[in-house]
Structure 1
């Protein structure tokens, strides 16, 4: 018996937030590699492009004036200041993706998550915690990309970000990346099965009971 096309559903907005160094980027990359039903939302940013980054793949790199115009025109679902630069989620890209039945992975902080929740209440909010603040600092130092002052700023911001953990639907402690990925992926698959997102069920049930 046919159960309906799995693409006949509304794509969902799947948010992953964490303090820098908690493993959000790693978990996001692993999730995208494992599941072809979800796409990463590529944010616009005023941050300078780093070596190896590509415009349109890693970020849409824009000037401050361009970002101002995009804010004024309503181009963003959410945007926020992070370490002296601005980041925004492009409305047209997200809407097009979810209307095609594909999920959108959003790598945004608690500020952006709050804004997004006001725009679209039907989002899944996940927060990734480090095993400890000591381990978080160790990971940041192991990167070898930031000065001591920058690491201090990141640690201070991490404490502020972690204080918002209770505003999320799901919270994971990332003491093992593979295990954390498994839990995150389980949540994603379960959320896809919600009746409100499976459009075909209306016609399917009607065909059974009249």
Structure 2
């Protein structure tokens, strides 16, 4: 699908606490034309969440039928509580209009998207956001204060696995200074989409 007139799907990955969302948010403040892929989920909407904006909310049978029909780039069953997935159709529609599409996802999801995209004839550019050091990642994760010490320990163990996978990615950005990392990410996107 991607040719000289279409950029590739940008898959953004990195360990929890590295600042993926912050970096991407900074880029989108300056470049709102970037479309952030919206996931589908079977969980209930939280207060203030809007269908089609935050998530595509659906019932479990509806989700499973779409999954069986191959309508997702990737899916995940989170702790048996809810299903999440990335719908293929809106991603393709935006790419065909040469609108930059970014999918912020975990390592397992990034690997699945690469595999599935190949089956669909989509091209993918993978970008890994990494911390300046593991100690800095640990400091940031603990500093967020959003998880219990047990959850932090689990996330740090997962982060070690994710950091070891960084060489699998097409591009790597060290998030030492948010504005610099955001500039680097924007340059990758702009080059990919001829902006």
Give the TM-score, by structure 1 length.
0.78
Match for residue 27 of structure 1? 23
Residues 20, 54 of structure 1: CA spacing in aligned structure 2 closer, same or farther, 3 A cutoff?
farther
What's the CA shift for 1:120? 3.0
What's the CA shift for 1:87? 2.6
What's the CA shift for 1:52? 4.7
Match for residue 173 of structure 1? 174
Residues 147, 55 of structure 1: CA spacing in aligned structure 2 closer, same or farther, 3 A cutoff?
farther
Match for residue 87 of structure 1? 84
**Number of aligned positions between the proteins:** 186
Match for residue 37 of structure 1? 33
Coordinate RMSD, CA, aligned: 2.2
Give the Cα–Cα distance (whole angstroms) in 2 for the partners of residues 21 and 82 of structure 1: 19
Gaps of 5+ in 1: 1-7, 194-210
Give the Cα–Cα distance (whole angstroms) in 2 for the partners of residues 145 and 50 of structure 1: 17
What's the CA shift for 1:37? 3.4
Query: SS at the partner of 1:171?
Result: strand
Residues 49, 135 of structure 1: CA spacing in aligned structure 2 closer, same or farther, 3 A cutoff?
farther
Query: SS at the partner of 1:120?
Result: helix
Match for residue 100 of structure 1? 97
Give the Cα–Cα distance (whole angstroms) in 1 for the partners of residues 157 and 131 of structure 2: 14
Give the Cα–Cα distance (whole angstroms) in 2 for the partners of residues 176 and 45 of structure 1: 33
Match for residue 159 of structure 2? 158
**C-alpha contact 1:11 1:97 (8 A) present in aligned 2:** no
What's the CA shift for 1:47? 4.9
Gaps of 5+ in 2: none
Give the Cα–Cα distance (whole angstroms) in 2 for the partners of residues 94 and 113 of structure 1: 15
After the TM superposition, which of the residue ranges 62-71 and 99-108 deviates more from structure 2? Answer: 62-71
Query: SS at the partner of 2:86?
Result: strand
Residues 54, 148 of structure 1: CA spacing in aligned structure 2 closer, same or farther, 3 A cutoff?
farther
After the TM superposition, which of the residue ranges 130-139 and 147-156 deviates more from structure 2? Answer: 130-139
Match for residue 198 of structure 1? none
What's the CA shift for 1:191? 1.9
Give the Cα–Cα distance (whole angstroms) in 1 for the partners of residues 70 and 173 of structure 2: 33
**C-alpha contact 1:126 1:170 (8 A) present in aligned 2:** yes
Query: SS at the partner of 1:102?
Result: coil
| 2:129 matches 1:128 | yes
Give the Cα–Cα distance (whole angstroms) in 2 for the partners of residues 163 and 47 of structure 1: 31
